[in-house]
Structure 1
């Protein structure tokens, strides 16, 4: 028998307090603070550049370095020449339902941060999946606040046990991207407390993060960087958060209102609403210097915790967590554990489609552009640059026996943009002054030059006149090759001595970060001969967009595409390959034009002709397995026509290796859905992400995700918590008290397996007469268990008091009015495999 660890039971190491809890730092922080003058204190609250805070050698304070996460640690640069481990997307991590695995991911990321000289990781993102259209949902965890909070707490513990700070974001209500800089999200007190604030509260209570990032958006009239009630009243007052509150980049708008609202650090620098402007308003008597001192204390505390302040030990000693973790191994484990087997039916009346027996197949057709050019992570500030990526095609070829023939066809191209030039190209970037002098030169692994915050040595925002990406290209095929230029500014492309493009490209869209990250593309073609090298030069003169002071950056690219048959011919080729194979594996995916920072999705359809491709391939081969690589829900109109559908999310750098592990049965798919997947966008309960008159009304109240689906007459394609494995489970017993649940399950299959035991609470007709309207059921706890064939496993899962409570505006005590009220009555306690697959039921009376 295997005993499970419940989601919120922590051993002593989970709340690691080595020589430095906050109280131990009081004396050194006060001594350092007393040595600072007003100008220095004000400067400490403003970034000195894009990613760092200033050093003050006189008090032994070193510069604090921050870096984007959450799937890796990019460091101070934004450059593919500085690679990072790339873990699977946060939705994938949440799909494991395993905080211990999230904690191990955190240990690895702390190791990566130390390697790159980073003290604070700008992660995790714990906003909720309010609507499936949220463009950045791949970077969040789930639609449920408890699951989000538990996985987020595991992640935060892991990173901070490694001596690196975390920054839980985006506090609060940044649940969509449309007009995110200005939108006023109107959220009633009850859903604000029960849903959107709940993950932050759980993480503050259980993991004690060292920083929180406030969002761009407004909530109920106040921008979050100035929201005194939520920051000072709730975050610091009610929850006791003692860390740093840092703005999202460029989010701080007003010096006085930000300081009074509780904002400690305005990023990036050097020119922000803090620094010199802050010192000026203090001298003018508009704010008290004591308020500045409070913010500086928290920055000094963060410096002490991360080992950046002399005279005290860091909060975590080196060696407190495992060292020398294998990034590839951790990435592979998370990816395979996150795979959600949505469907697995028998093929032609025989065995189920998965796992595939390698000894029983002689030919495997791998189909789909994403099988060769893997879609491993989402776009935007979550982007990191892995040193190497294992594609699904490579992973399957490496795992299958040598005598199994593996064919590949593109089938359908999902991208509307050309990939960055790589195969056959040898390129260098030359950074030029206005007079043509070479300021710096470096090799490039592909045709993209993306820098933010840190330029090559000798290059500055002021002295840079142009960049030339130059080298040679040796074609593999004869025919018309497509080239693309991407960037905002002046671009001139020369191939083989001929100028193919010479013009100015303007930014697109209203979001400056979106315009920077996804610049406009222009395409041209050139006839080339296989094997004959040609010179290639793309000259770029920067021309925006303006990201604000301290955010100097470059982002331009040379794209390339080989001669291709027309789209109809590509699908026909894929159908022929499938028809001649024992198994057809079709890999479909979204692109960074669908799922990225700065914009929301317009629909949930797979891009290009991928739906048609799957339908045609399935008709040609009854043993068709579809692998879906997307960070959040997409429509699967063909799902009933294929025997197996496997959701791989954005699987990180070991995508193909993990996929082969699961498809061929070396490991089972252990994932469960952290968010509901609709059959059609039109069925989704919440689809409104576009503000009207600057406001976005969260009019659905507490009814998002599965809470809302339970009120709908239409069933989703796949419910919250759903996921199949390669074995069967029987739920044998359920014992419950008002404080905990004990569930015994048995592995009734023929191979070892892992099960996620989910506990839901449902009010009964015997609820208290004054009970408020509540969802039909809600997640109250969960645990992961493992057992071999025929073995039983037992999970003991606490039922927290909060599971029986609602936010009542009539209660007193909270900063802005209201309080938690325990709702008395009789509840059903349901042990389930998903919110719709409930196996055992008991009742408990709460007084």
Structure 2
């Protein structure tokens, strides 16, 4: 049951002294001696009232996660066995429990909904679905006794080998920032009675798992501002996450959690009002970290013990003002996020799954799946498909050699544990395909694909073959190639040679190479599609739903084509101190901008995705923007030229003047439109030059500011980053 500590409050001006506070508190309905529980006061005032009633050691509790979140516990023991003791916290402070997982509530202690991976969410290009997922996930968290989610995650897809690609939101700052903001808003604002605070992560330039604790990402200031800080800045302009987590890596020689960019860029330039917490064991110092802007050490105290901070205070390395500021940021965030005013349930249900959460999981899996190839209209499946041979271990809920639909339900667990323990209620594709095929009078056979000869025999006896192939990845390690796991590439090639009507469903967390692409009729990228994967994929494969997903990352033709094809760039070169110096020498040329700048044709470009219908564009008109500050409106007509209703993602890119040094063109706006067959609609995408996305500006390191250059700006409308259906240039003075 939810318990709400509500109050009919005193006005802020009525709190004149201890006696007045006590009398007013009793009349208002909140505990005497706890004026910070007056919900009619703003979060800053409440935080100040609490801290003014706190001793130094009580303030220091807020600077450590465990001490902050367990107010009555007084002794905390680190993993190395060192015990730290604090006094009990002041009264009326809540128990707070952090949960990892931007994708789902991990280690929940209950049967929670397992949503598709975050890259799948990015592929929907839908802020509405990102909000819905955040709202549903917040319910899972709160009901299982967690009121903070460590997520969502933002990276920039510098290398497709990055093990954490599936838990990030794509390679583009605008798309990733928008999706992160929407998910944060869903988490924090979706249900006022069950507040869950979001901690956006990992700040910043955390682009690989290889040597993540012992590497320095070395780049120019312009690259940091335009590429790696930018998605965070965009997310912060549209949402107010309670916290941001700093990353393991160094940036230009200083660890992220003691790097001055925390204060100078994140809090100063970007205006972040929340608190900065560390990743696990990502703190390396006391005074340098506090001076740089790290407010809270994650887990039990190691560097932020009272003794260490007191010693730094006594020696003049830190000030009382810095301690107060750090504690204030944590307390204000907790109060602003509702954690003080809404106690979590005292009992955990056996399941938090609801029709709403399962519908969200299915919709994300459906809308995020991307149709990459459909030769000869091999899809959708139907009565003409004949006997369908479903092939592949991940199609079935029954494991073969430890691999099943549960394996690809979500990303690989950080500790190497099998994902089956995380996805007990998976709807397997084989089950859903068999059921749907029966509606059309079709027969379905199944082969695990673990033996290629057996799979070929199964393919030969069917008219259509649907091969499920996979590649596992997750936190803790990077991929070593773009090949599929489980001999998947050889399996697909052999099946395609035996059956000319072969469809491939990829369940991967990142881009993969497709040496068999010319042999198959169709390819679907389903990512890690969560517990409702079978339901979503069957609807798509049989045409009961259209493909609306678009790639949030570029699929390169080979690893050699990527921007990190030298050892100096990835994984870096180890120096004499054991730190891998990783050169971000590609600069601004990251993601699709790299392929355009280098004139490299990818296997599939960013923004790409097919549909069961087709669209045409006409009549572009670009208005505004003459002074570089007024809104720019890109208008055009889009028409559904096919025979099925579909939803198209309209994409607008801009090419800045060559004098800016900006690579190629950049996504500056997008919009989804649903059209019936033959229907046309005029679309207008408005671009705000003054927004945090800085759509027509570049970062000038001489003035440390964003600048809009005078010159010619070309706006392109198309279906992906490399296909311009329409274009028009304007002059900006």
Normalising by the smaller structure, the TM-score range is: 0.7 to 0.9
| Separation of aligned partners in 2, 1:361 and 1:611 | 24
Offset of residue 57 of structure 1: 5.8
Match of 1:86 among 81, 101, 114: 114
> In structure 2, what is the equivalent of residue 630 of structure 1?
508
Structure with larger RCO (C-alpha < 8 A, sep 6+): 1
What is the SS of the residue equivalent to 1:807?
Answer: strand
Indicate the residue corresponding to 2:629 in structure 1. none
**Which of 618, 623, 628 is residue 496 of structure 2 equivalent to?**
618
Corresponding residue SS for 1:626: strand
2:285 paired residue number = 254
Q: Any conservation in 2 of the 1:366–1:585 contact (CA below 8 Å)?
A: yes
Pick aligned residue for 1:197 from 229, 232, 254: 229
Alpha carbons of 1:61 and 1:20: their partners in 2 closer, same or farther (altered >3 Å)?
A: closer
Q: Deviations over 1:770-827 (max 9, x none)?
A: x23221211111111111111123332222321111111111xxxxxx2111112111
CA 1:409–1:275 in structure 2 vs 1: closer, same or farther (change >3 Å)? farther
| 1:777 and 2:665 aligned | yes
Q: Which residue of 2 aligns with 1:415?
A: none
Q: In structure 2, do the counterparts of structure 1 residues 809 and 24 end up closer, same or farther at CA, with 3 Å as the change threshold? A: same
SS at match of 1:88: coil
1:113 paired with 2:141, answer yes
Q: Distance in 1 between matches of 2:467 and 2:295?
A: 49
User: Does 1:804 find its partner at 2:682?
Assistant: no
**Partner SS for 1:326:** helix
Establish whether residue 356 from structure 1 lines up as the match of residue 381 from structure 2: yes
Aligned 8 A contact 1:578 1:620 in 2: yes
Partner of 1:654: 532
Q: Corresponding residue for 2:182?
A: 154
More displaced, 219-228 or 680-689? 680-689
1:220 to 243, 248, 252: 252
Query: What pairs up with 1:91-110 in 2 under 5 angstroms?
Result: 91-110=119-138
Counterparts of 1:620 and 1:636, CA distance in 2: 18
Residue 335 (structure 2) aligns with: 304
Match of 1:410 in 2: 448
Q: 1:209 aligns with which of 227, 241, 244?
A: 241
Give the Å deviation of 1:324.
6.2
What is the 5 A alignment of 1:563-712? 570-591=451-472, 595-687=473-565, 688-692=569-573, 693=575, 694-712=580-598
Match of 1:46 among 55, 59, 64: 64
Matched, 1:746 2:624: no
CA apart distance, 1:271: 4.1
Pick aligned residue for 1:182 from 171, 191, 214: 214
In the alignment, structure 1 residue 67 sits paired with structure 2 residue 88: no
Q: Does 1:344 align with 2:356?
A: no
User: Are the equivalent residues in 2 in contact too, given 1:339–1:646 (CA < 8 A)?
Assistant: yes
Aligned-pair CA distance for 1:325: 5.8
Task: Please give the per-residue CA displacement for 1:313-360, whole angstroms capped at 9, x wherever unaligned.
Answer: 99xxxxxxxx966211111100010111100011xxxxx101111x33
SS in 2 for 1:84: coil
Q: After the TM superposition, which segments of 4 or more aligned residues of structure 1 sit over 6 Å from their partners? A: 19-23
| Deviation for aligned residue 1:33 | 0.3
| Aligned mates of 1:90, 1:73 — CA distance in 2 | 13
Cα distance in 2 for partners of 1:722, 1:99 equals 18
- Structure 2: gaps (5+ residues): 1-36, 73-87, 345-352, 397-403, 626-631
Answer yes or no: is the 8 Å Cα contact 1:47–1:54 preserved in 2. no
Residue 365 of structure 1 aligns with which residue?
A: 389
Contact residue 707 and residue 778 of structure 1 kept, 8 A: yes
Give, in angstroms, the shift of residue 243 of structure 1.
0.5
Report the Cα distance in structure 2 between the residues aligned to 1:405 and 1:307, rounded to whole angstroms: 54
Match of 1:734 among 620, 641, 644: 620
User: SS where residue 780 of structure 1 aligns?
Assistant: strand
Task: Give aligned pairs, total.
Answer: 637
Q: Distance in 2 between matches of 1:28 and 1:704?
A: 44
Distance change >3 Å, CA 117–CA 793, structure 1 → 2: farther
Question: For 1:289 and 1:22, how far apart are their aligned partners in 2?
Answer: 29
Indicate conservation of the 8 Å contact 1:626/1:642, yes or no.
yes
Question: In the alignment, what sits opposite 1:450?
Answer: none
Q: In 2, Cα distance between the equivalents of 1:20 and 1:207?
A: 25
Partner of 1:260, secondary structure, is helix
- Preserved CA contact (<8 Å) 1:674 1:720: yes
Equivalent residues of 1:168, 1:213 under 8 A apart:
yes
TM superposition shift of 1:153: 1.3
CA offsets per residue over residues 658-680 of structure 1, 9 Å max, x none? 11010011101111111110121
Q: Give the 3-state SS of the residue equivalent to 2:506 in structure 1.
A: strand
Counterpart position of 1:756: 649
Give yes or no for contact 1:809–1:819 (8 Å, CA) kept in 2. yes
Shift of 1:363: 1.8
Segments of structure 1 that go 5 or more residues without pairing to the other structure are: 1-18, 315-322, 347-351, 413-569, 812-817
Corresponding residue for residue 26 of structure 2: none
Q: Contact 1:108/1:325 (CA < 8 Å) preserved in 2? A: no
SS at structure 1 position matched to 2:660:
coil
TM-score (norm 2): 0.83
Distance 1:605 1:48 in 2: 42
Note the alpha carbon deviations across 1:123-160, whole angstroms, 9 max, x for none: 01101100112121111111111111111111111111
Q: Deviation of residue 285 (structure 1)?
A: 3.9
Tell me if the contact between 1:22 and 1:301 (Cα under 8 Å) persists in the aligned partners: no
Richer in strand (by share): 1
Query: CA–CA distance in 1 between the matches of 2:334 and 2:491?
Result: 54
TM-score, L = length of structure 1: 0.72
Instruction: Answer yes or no: is the 8 Å Cα contact 2:470–2:486 preserved in 1.
Output: no
The alignment yields a C-alpha RMSD, in angstroms, of: 2.3
Q: Contact (CA 8 Å) 1:604, 1:681: kept in 2 or not?
A: yes
CA displacement, residues 367-392 of structure 1 (integer Å, 9 cap, x when unaligned): 01111211121123597823401121
How far 1:702 moved relative to its partner?
0.3
State the distance in 2 between where 1:665 and 1:150 align. 29
Could you list the per-position Cα deviations for residues 257-303 of structure 1 after superposition, in whole angstroms to 9, with x for gaps in the alignment?
11111111101115443344223433444322221111111111122
Query: Is the CA contact 1:124–1:152 (under 8 Å) kept in the aligned structure 2?
Result: yes
Contact 1:307 1:313 in 2 (8 A): no
Which piece of structure 1 moves more, 608-617 or 794-803? 794-803
